[in-house]
Amino acid sequence: MVARADPPGFRAFCISSISTMNDGTRLNKYLASCAIGSRRACDALIQAGRVEVNGSSCTKLATRIQTGDHVKVDGRRVAPREVTIVAFHKPRGYVCSREDELGRDTIYTLLPGALHALHHVGRLDRDSEGLLILTNDGDLSQRLMHPSKSVEKEYLVTANQSFENAHLDQFLEGVYTEGGKLRAKAIERLSARRIKVVLDHGAKRQIRLMFETMGYTVSKLLRVRIGQLWLGDLEPGHWALLTPPEVAMLLGEATPAKKRAAAPASARRGDASKERRSGGGKDTRATGKSEPGVLPGARAKRRASPLTAPVGRKKAR
């Protein structure tokens, strides 16, 4: 296999997989961080006697690995991989898959080879666009996707016709669809045909299903936020490596901003001004509006930020 060169300016964001606490890291978690497999698959390897710790066979699932321990699987030394976490602005017209049985373009055709080993956290359908996270960190994926974590995702949605106020209330109360009862956490009218939708539990194609059930067709769907991390002015087809503070924002661990910033400039393009002139008023229907932190530069002036600065931003190749 020919090694792929990292793209110019590429650097991995390294998160140590070994706990700084005295109790160390559970063996299956350590093996998963070495890209051996899922934690369940690693449990099977341990029980099968295929794992050695410091030269001795280890079949105890409760074993913890300390800094300096040597671990082997099938006689081969393994070590945690550097963790890479990337924010990517998925353009419309691409599917979130490495290969597509219908021959459609995938997001990996836009990414450099050094990022092809990353998996996408969740997905956006072919006709949707916006913020998508890619990583090789299974724990991060679990924290972002597990329903118990209730990580917020914010979308700007444009429909084919004006929204009725009663329908906005219905989106909050819940809509019965083919996939069951689906609801939004918060709704805010931005114009006659354009609203902001916040979800904290995402079903497949949830927004489109809710809208179709109520008689609307989604003409544009843009994800602008995950956790407290905004898309900012990261352009379609571009990607950026996240810094530790941005990862904290993604996970909701950063201190929220005291004042909510304006929506990212990249999310305010199009004919919104024309729609405002048509009479769409602002109508906030959130039971508890979140106050997410905003990346420096994701404000109206579009100043450079760690996510969107020329040094960090790379055009997907």
236: containing domain: 85-315
8 is a domain residue:
no
Residue, of 298 and 174, whose pLDDT is higher: 174
Q: What pLDDT score does 140 carry? A: 86
Residue with the bigger pLDDT between 45 and 269: it is 45
75 pLDDT higher than 90: yes
Residues 121 and 106 reside in one and the same domain: yes
In the listed set 59, 78, 97, which residue is the last one of a domain according to the structure? 78
State the pLDDT at residue 294.
Answer: 39
Same domain, 149 and 252: yes
**Which residue do the tokens 């490596």 mark?**
241
Assess if residue 7 is contained within a domain.
Answer: no
Shared-domain flag, residues 38 and 150: no
**Which of 107-116, 144-153, 308-317 is the most confident on average?**
107-116
Annotated catalytic residue, options 43, 69, 100, 125: 125
Question: Are 172 and 284 contained in the same domain?
Answer: yes
pLDDT on residue 207: 95
Do both 118 and 198 map to the same domain? yes
- Report pLDDT for 22: 59
Query: Looking at residues 161-173, what average pLDDT do you find?
Result: 94
Q: Is the pLDDT of residue 260 over 80?
A: no
In tens, the pLDDT along 218-254 reads 999 999 999 999 999 999 999 999 999 999 999 888 7
Share of the chain above pLDDT 90, in %: 53
- Residue 307 lies inside a defined structural domain of this protein: yes
Task: Answer yes or no: are the C-beta atoms of 164 and 170 closer than 8 Å.
Answer: no
- Mark whether 169 is an active-site residue: no
Q: Are residues 102 and 60 in the same domain?
A: no
pLDDT at residue 194 is higher than 70:
yes
pLDDT band at residue 268 using 50, 70 and 90 as cut-offs: very low
Q: Do residues 59 and 193 both lie within one domain? A: no
Instruction: Decide which of 78, 95, 122 is a domain's last residue.
Output: 78
At 271, the pLDDT band (50, 70, 90 cuts) reads very low
Residue 17 in domain: no
Q: Looking at the domain assignment, is residue 246 inside a domain?
A: yes
Identify whether residues 46 and 159 lie together within a single domain.
Answer: no
Question: In the structure, what pLDDT confidence band is assigned to residue 6 with cuts at 50, 70 and 90?
Answer: very low
As a whole number, mean pLDDT of residues 77-98 equals 92
Mean pLDDT of the chain: 77
In this structure, the answer to whether residues 97 and 49 fall within a common structural domain is: no
Q: Judge whether 10 lies within some domain.
A: no
The mean per-residue pLDDT over the stretch 65-87 comes to 92
Percentage of the chain surpassing pLDDT 70?
73
Inside any domain, residue 14: no
CATH number for the domain harbouring residue 36: 3.10.290.10
pLDDT at residue 316 in the model: 52
Domain final position from 14, 45, 78: 78
Same domain, 144 and 262: yes
Are residue 60 and residue 93 in the same domain, yes or no? no
- Domain harbouring 171, CATH code: 3.30.2350.10
Whether 9 maps to a domain, the answer reads no
**Could you read off the pLDDT of 12-60 as tens digits, one per residue?**
444 444 444 458 899 988 998 887 877 888 999 999 999 999 999 999 9
Q: What is the mean pLDDT of residues 166-179?
A: 91
Domain count, the chain: 2
Q: Is the pLDDT of residue 146 over 80?
A: yes
Q: Is the pLDDT of residue 290 over 50?
A: no
> Which of 208, 190, 188 is CA-nearest to residue 198?
188
Q: What is the pTM of this model?
A: 0.67
Position 137 pLDDT exceeds 50: yes
pLDDT at 192 over 70: yes
Q: Domain check: are 52 and 133 in the same one?
A: no
204 or 18, which is more confident? 204
Distance separating the N- and C-terminal Cα atoms of the chain: 21
